[in-house]
């Protein structure tokens, strides 16, 4: 397992002031920004593990995601052009057509970004064609669909079908999550993975690109 430094530990405990101070300290000491970012990402993964162990709850996850956004904005100018372009992978995320719930989706988006993914967030009520266009344009390794309404099961199925019809299914992994999703839904609609929590989704995505 990767080493939990004091910075990674502070991220995992969502101690924003401590995290900011440690990040600045490291940058001033000449630690490369990509190493600092990697430590933060390890912390985010541990935060996810804490959530899975029920040692923390949703507000911490959400706050952790927001904290990582701030830290990433602070690190961005210090990242070399090569590093800034080098990312864990690309993900496309959206709440499926007719579903406007976005709180859970936003947590997944924030956590993926915190784990080094470039995320194309399509928002809510996303028609199948918009997923297809985004896959064509951004060539993600993973697409995440959020679904909270059982009435939107057909939207998940139609999205998967549209991706297949466009000939894009082979090149991308599909994950589904949200309160209405389940292993059965993933299986019936032809998704690769059902994530019960944002953390599951991030772990799946990281596993795909070897960033776990």
Smallest distance, Å, CB 178 to ligand B12?
Answer: 4
User: Using the rule CB under 6 A, is 42 a contact of ligand B12?
Assistant: no
36 and 5 Cβ atoms separated by less than 8 Å: no
Is residue 121 exposed (0-12), middle (13-18) or buried (19+ Cβ within 10 Å)?
Answer: buried
Query: Which residues are within 8 A (CB) of 62 and not within 5 positions of it... i.e. 6 or more apart?
Result: 107, 110
Q: In the stretch 86-125, what mask flags binding to ligand B12 with x, by CB under 6 A?
A: ------------xxxxxxxx-xx-----------------
State which residue, 5 or 97, has the beta carbon closest to ligand B12. Answer: 97
State which residue, 128 or 201, has the beta carbon closest to ligand B12. Answer: 201
Distance CA 78, CA 80 (A): 6
Handedness of CA 135, 137, 139, 140 (dihedral sign): negative
DSSP 96: B
Of 53-82, binders to ligand B12 (CB under 6 A) are 58
Smallest distance, Å, CB 47 to ligand B12?
Answer: 12
State which residue, 11 or 110, has the beta carbon closest to ligand B12. Answer: 110
Distance CA 130, CA 136 (A): 10
Which of the ranges 36-44, 82-90, 128-136, 142-150 carries the binding residues for ligand B12, by CB under 6 A? 142-150
Smallest distance, Å, CB 76 to ligand B12?
Answer: 26
Alpha helices by DSSP H, the chain: 6-12, 16-28, 33-52, 58-75, 81-85, 103-114, 128-138, 153-165, 183-189, 198-209
User: Using the rule CB under 6 A, is 175 a contact of ligand B12?
Assistant: yes
State which residue, 107 or 172, has the beta carbon closest to ligand B12. Answer: 107
Which residue, 5, 10, 64, is CA-closest to 39?
Answer: 5
Which of the ranges 25-33, 113-121, 146-154, 158-166 carries the binding residues for ligand B12, by CB under 6 A? 146-154
State which residue, 19 or 108, has the beta carbon closest to ligand B12. Answer: 108
User: What residue ranges bind ligand B12 (CB under 6 A)?
Assistant: 58, 98-105, 107-108, 144-146, 148-151, 175-180, 195, 197-198, 200-201
């Amino acid at each position: 397992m990767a080493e939990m430094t004091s910075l990674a530990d502070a991220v995992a405990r969502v101690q924003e002031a401590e995290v900011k101070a440690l990040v600045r300290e490291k940058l001033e000491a000449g630690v490369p920004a990509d190493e600092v970012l990697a430590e933060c990402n390890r912390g985010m993964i541990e935060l996810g593990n804490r959530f899975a162990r029920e040692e923390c709850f949703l507000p911490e996850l959400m706050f952790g995601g927001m904290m990582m956004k701030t830290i990433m904005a602070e690190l961005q100018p210090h990242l070399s052009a090569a590093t800034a372009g080098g990312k864990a992978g690309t993900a496309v995320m959206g709440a499926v057509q007719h579903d406007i719930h976005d709180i859970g989706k936003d947590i997944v988006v924030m956590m993926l970004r915190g784990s080094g993914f470039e995320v194309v967030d399509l928002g809510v009520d996303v028609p199948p064609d918009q997923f297809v266009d985004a896959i064509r344009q951004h060539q993600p390794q993973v697409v995440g669909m959020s679904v909270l309404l059982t009435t939107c099961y057909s939207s998940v199925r139609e999205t998967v079908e549209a991706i297949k019809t466009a000939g894009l299914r082979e090149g991308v992994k599909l994950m589904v999550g949200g309160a209405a999703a389940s292993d059965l839904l993933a299986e019936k609609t032809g998704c690769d993975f059902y994530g019960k929590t944002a953390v599951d989704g991030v772990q799946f995505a990281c596993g795909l690109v070897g960033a776990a």
